[in-house]
Amino acid sequence: MTRDIRNLFALCALVFASLPGIANGQVSVEVVGGEGSRIPIAVLSFHGDEQEAEEHRIGQIVAADLMRSSALRVVEASGLGAGINDQVDYDYFASTGTDMVVIGKVSRIGREFVARYALVDVARKERIIEETLSEPESTVRFLAHRIADKVHDRLTGYPGAYATRICYVAREGHKSEILIADADGYNRQVLYKTDSPIMSPQWSPDGTRLAYVSFERQRPRIYVHDITKGTRKVVSKFRGTNSAPAWSPDGKQLAVTLSKDGGSQIYVIGADGGNPKRLSDSRSRDTEPNFSPDGRHILFTSDRGGSPQIYRLSINGSARPERLTFDGRYNTSPKYAADGEWFAYVRMEDGRFSIAAQSLGDGEVRYLTSGQDDRSPAFSPNGKAILYATEVKGRGALGAISIDGTTRWGIATYAHDIRGVAWGPYDSYRVEVAK
Amino acid sequence: MKHLLILSLVVALTACSSLGNRSSQSEAQRAAQEAAAQEAARQEAVRQEAARQEARRQEAARLEEARKQEEARIAEEQRQEAERIAEEERIAEEERRIEEEARLEEERIQAEARRQEELRQIEELRRQRMEDDDDTSLVGMVTEEQLRKANPLLLEQSIYFDFDRYQIKADYAQVIAAHARFLITHPTVKIFVEGNCDDRGSPEYNIALGQRRSDAVQRALLALGVPKRQIEAVSYGAERPLAYGANEQSWARNRRADIAYPMFKE
């Protein structure tokens, strides 16, 4: 039942080895499997791209986005271009085994970038999408990410989560920075900077808030930070330790870990604070709660069985928590995928920490990464990829892998150490970060 | 007076001889005259001798006078010097006194500033306690010196643990007991016990691990009679490491619980 994808680790190392040489925030992608089922697609240069700076060329950004999909295979098409009104050379693309072609044209109208693009089905010789999108100059890359999402959605039934944002905490010594960047690592912005450790950032379902743990006082407390307003509020400061916040799907509650009644136990509080309701009741360490997408269950880590393993409890407290992981002596940090059918987690084997995923249906386990110290998995909003903190040459880096293990990529961060990762919901790119 | 006598005798003798000359120029008279002349010469010699003696005497007196004057001058100078020194000493003494007063004043001001700063820090602690919904009577603060005087063991504030363990080793019994005694005798002092662990694995799970360590130290203190309100067990997980190396030596330093007193900051 266990599918081991770790022999592909060597390729991953290649991806990361190339990171330091590329510009800040850039992504390097490695396809490590699944070729047979991928849809071959070519993205041609958009007419008008040649007049823009490299990082604003829509065609290139769309191609780079689609390369991170485990459902597509981006066919090399550099140098090829076509006008939006031209008919593509169906015979040529058919002969190169390309099923789909994206063509487009971009122009500036005032301070807006306007793109007209089409997704062409080579076999049927027809345009299956043709539309116009626009973005202000300041968010021109999102114009491309939105096109990529639409193309992806049309071909696979779900958006690629390209027009989204990610968040991570960069740490050096005790100094912390909460950084928000585009999903591909570009446009990195500092949300908050402090001389104290910060950890466990979690993005609210509506994309406007972050919950995290800060150690600026002796007692660790949980804050909710309004990204657009730049304001922050303490929502949990109970005696002892307040840690591991997790949003409920409706954004109205937080599951948290408190030690106020002794040990580490899981409670639910309002997103603005308020009285905690206890969910777990054990003499063991229970922590890392994570809500199911339907809000009815919580996954968490507990050492009640002698070693840390992943359990599931139901919010209405109807049944005893159910143990989900049995493989190995260390399984932590569970995170539900958007469909609620899989969860990602961190497993330890031979002192190495790596990312794995398990099906809640049939219990299938996939070992996805093979790093020395991979942790803090966070699902993309489409549930198809997992972002995680890792290490490259002793420095913090972000890694990502598709849930089927066939596609992985790295994002350069130049952080000393990464303490927590979050992936914003769809449309999180619309949230303006307060200056 | 002597001079006058001799002079009148000579005058008298001369008068006699002239009387003799005028009355008779006899041998006796010449002899008498010669004797008188001799007598006069002798007397003249005596007189001169007396004058020389007188001159010598006067010279000696003059010298004596000069010596006395010189002595007096020296004595005066010495007196003046002594007076000057005394004055200088008086001034120096005065300066010392002023300096001492200034120093005392400065010390007083500093002590006052320190006291104000301590009050400010206590007030800050009280404010934090209030903000954290804590007991605001627990605002006792300590200095390192105070702890050292009470018991040098109180400066041992870290309890180290083995990998993935949270049992307190027997070696720490005396240290724990010292802290318990201090807390019992200082009922307004509240400590934080801060659990830490090494940086391997899930940061969130490590928080729970560190909590076990701080809970263990808290339990040991409670067992020795420390009131619960004076202890708060928190965990920093792997977020506040003392050592950053990826090796057993660094990890061992990070597997610890720290007993943190509210300390006055300089």
- Residue in chain B nearest A351 by alpha carbon: B200
Taking CB atoms and an 8 Å limit, are B236 and A240 in contact across chains? no
Of B128, B203, B234, the CB nearest to A376: B203
Residues B192, B209, single domain; the answer is: yes
Residues B103, B154, single domain; the answer is: no
Model confidence, pTM: 0.83
Q: What is the pLDDT of residues A206-237, one digit of tens each?
A: 999 999 999 999 999 999 999 999 999 999 99
Residues B194, B102, single domain; the answer is: no
Average pLDDT of span A51-75? 92
Task: Find all residues with CB under 8 Å of A375, minimum gap 6, and list them.
Answer: A333, A346, A353, A355, A388, A389, A390, B201, B202, B203
Domain-located, residue B155: yes
Pick the last residue of a domain from B84, B110, B136.
Answer: B136
Domain-located, residue B112: yes
Average pLDDT of span B134-144? 93
User: Is 70 exceeded by the pLDDT of residue A11?
Assistant: no
Domain-located, residue B30: no
Q: What is the pLDDT of residues A235-273, one digit of tens each?
A: 999 999 999 999 999 999 999 999 999 889 999 999 999
Name the residue with higher pLDDT: A87 or A233: A233
User: What per-residue confidence (pLDDT) applies to B11?
Assistant: 55
Residues B63, B90, single domain; the answer is: yes
User: Is 90 exceeded by the pLDDT of residue A54?
Assistant: no
User: What per-residue confidence (pLDDT) applies to A413?
Assistant: 84
Structural domain tally of chain B?
A: 2
Pick the last residue of a domain from B136, B163, B179.
Answer: B136
**Region of poorest pLDDT, from A72-81, A293-302, B203-212:** A72-81
Domain-located, residue B92: yes
For an interface test with B, give the residue of A213, A217, A238, A259 to mutate (most B CBs within 10 A). A259
Taking CB atoms and an 8 Å limit, are B215 and A263 in contact across chains? yes
ipTM of this complex: 0.90
Residues B132, B150, single domain; the answer is: no
Q: Residue B78: give the domain boundaries.
A: 50-136
For an interface test with A, give the residue of B207, B242, B254, B259 to mutate (most A CBs within 10 A). B207
List of chain A residues whose C-beta atoms are within 8 Å of the C-beta of residue B245? none
Residues B183, B132, single domain; the answer is: no
Domain-located, residue B209: yes
Domain CATH number, residue B152: 3.30.1330.60
Residues B80, B104, single domain; the answer is: yes
Taking CB atoms and an 8 Å limit, are A285 and B192 in contact across chains? no
List of chain B residues whose C-beta atoms are within 8 Å of the C-beta of residue A351? 200
Listed in order, strand segments (DSSP E) in A292-413 are 297-302, 309-314, 322-323, 331-336, 342-349, 352-359, 365-367, 375-379, 385-392, 395-402, 407-411
Q: What is the pLDDT of residues A95-118, one digit of tens each?
A: 999 999 999 999 999 999 999 999
Taking CB atoms and an 8 Å limit, are B204 and A287 in contact across chains? yes
- Residue in chain A nearest B261 by alpha carbon: A218
Average pLDDT of span A136-152? 96
Taking CB atoms and an 8 Å limit, are B207 and A264 in contact across chains? yes
Does A121 lie at the interface with B, CB-CB under 8 angstroms?
no
Q: What is the pLDDT of residues A305-330, one digit of tens each?
A: 999 999 999 998 777 899 999 999 99
Residues B241, B171, single domain; the answer is: yes
Taking CB atoms and an 8 Å limit, are A353 and B200 in contact across chains? yes
For an interface test with A, give the residue of B239, B251, B263 to mutate (most A CBs within 10 A). B239
Residues B234, B158, single domain; the answer is: yes
Of A174, A237, A243, the CB nearest to B207: A243
Average pLDDT over chain A, rounded to whole?
90
Pick the last residue of a domain from B111, B136, B161.
Answer: B136
List of chain B residues whose C-beta atoms are within 8 Å of the C-beta of residue A176? none
- Residue in chain B nearest A377 by alpha carbon: B202
